[in-house]
Amino acid sequence: MIIGYARVSTTGQNLDGQTDLLTQNGCERIYSEKISGVKKERQQLDRMMDSLRSGDTVIITELTRLGRSVKELLSIIERIHEAGASIKSLRETWLDT
């Protein structure tokens, strides 16, 4: 399954641009939330991580939507790989596992 994750930092921001891009890139399910990236507790990210199965692909529009620090990003990417899934960033085209 192709799964998208979208996040904006404040409730005043709009998720439509991200969700449109994720849909255009084949995402069958999109987890989205309006919460600061510095927050450790992100319900939708946790739900997405719990739903991952071997062979799934997670698509994000850009790395900053997934995490705010290199350490956090690497931890999330490792968890995705441990689930047997891969990850792809639309902006950072080098991130396509």
List pLDDT tens digits, range 34-69. Answer: 877 566 688 999 999 999 999 999 999 998 888 878
Our count of domains for the chain comes to: 1
CATH of the domain at 76: 3.40.50.1390
Catalytic residues: 9
More confident residue, 17 or 94: 17
Per-residue pLDDT at 66: 87
- 74 inside domain: yes
- 17 inside domain: yes
* 25 pLDDT tier (thresholds 50, 70, 90): very high
42 is in which domain, residue-wise? 2-89
Q: Are 90 and 24 in contact (CB under 8 A)?
A: no
Q: What is the overall mean pLDDT for the chain? A: 89
- 83 inside domain: yes
* 93 pLDDT tier (thresholds 50, 70, 90): confident
- 52 inside domain: yes
- 94 inside domain: no
- 64 inside domain: yes
- 79 inside domain: yes
